[in-house]
Amino acid sequence: MIGLPVWYVTRIKPHTVDYTITAPALTEYDERGIRSISPINIKFSEPAAPLHAMDKRLTTGVSLSPAVAGTWMWSGDKELVFTPKNDWPVDATFTVRFTKAFFAKGVLLDDYTADFKTVPFSAKLTRSQFYQDPRDPNLKKLVAGSR
């Protein structure tokens, strides 16, 4: 295999902004149903938000696939937040896509798409008890719990 030309290896590379996506945590429930749905947070290593987009609902330049109803907003100049309208699907993979024009002038990313995964379903039983009715041997039950 032939090596890369020296001019290519030593070329000046543009400065890019790094980012990390924090996948949503488990949805919290209480006796009335859903208490809170966690958003996804995208944190940038440097300011990336254009000033005109601060504190406004964003409708273009960023998308989620598969599509989920919700709201994109900048939470400061380095953090982008997506809050879904409904609960996240269990154990699903999503792709976030940005357009280059979405960011402040001069902000470049290495990759304009990123994936994240929602929490998979899991259950843990800490106790269980088998019950058979003494009067009717065909009536059998299993009682299980997590406390």
Torsion of Cα atoms, 92 then 97 then 76 then 59, to 10°: -100
Average pLDDT, the chain: 90
- The reported pLDDT for the residue numbered 58 is 93
- The reported pLDDT for the residue numbered 21 is 96
The number of beta carbons lying within 10 Å of the beta carbon of residue 21 is: 15
Residue pair 37/83 in contact (Cβ under 8 Å)? The answer is yes
- The reported pLDDT for the residue numbered 147 is 65
Enter the pTM of the model.
Answer: 0.77
**How does pLDDT run across 28-66, given as a tens digit for each residue?**
888 888 888 999 999 999 999 999 998 889 999 999 999
**How does pLDDT run across 77-134, given as a tens digit for each residue?**
999 999 999 999 999 999 999 999 999 999 999 999 999 999 888 878 888 888 888 8
- The reported pLDDT for the residue numbered 33 is 83
Number of H helices, E strands in the chain: 1, 11
CATH number, domain 6-122, options 3.90.1690, 2.60.40, 1.25.40, 1.10.3470: 2.60.40
Single-letter amino acid, residue 68: V
Smallest CA-to-CA distance from 75 within 108, 104, 38, 47 is with 47
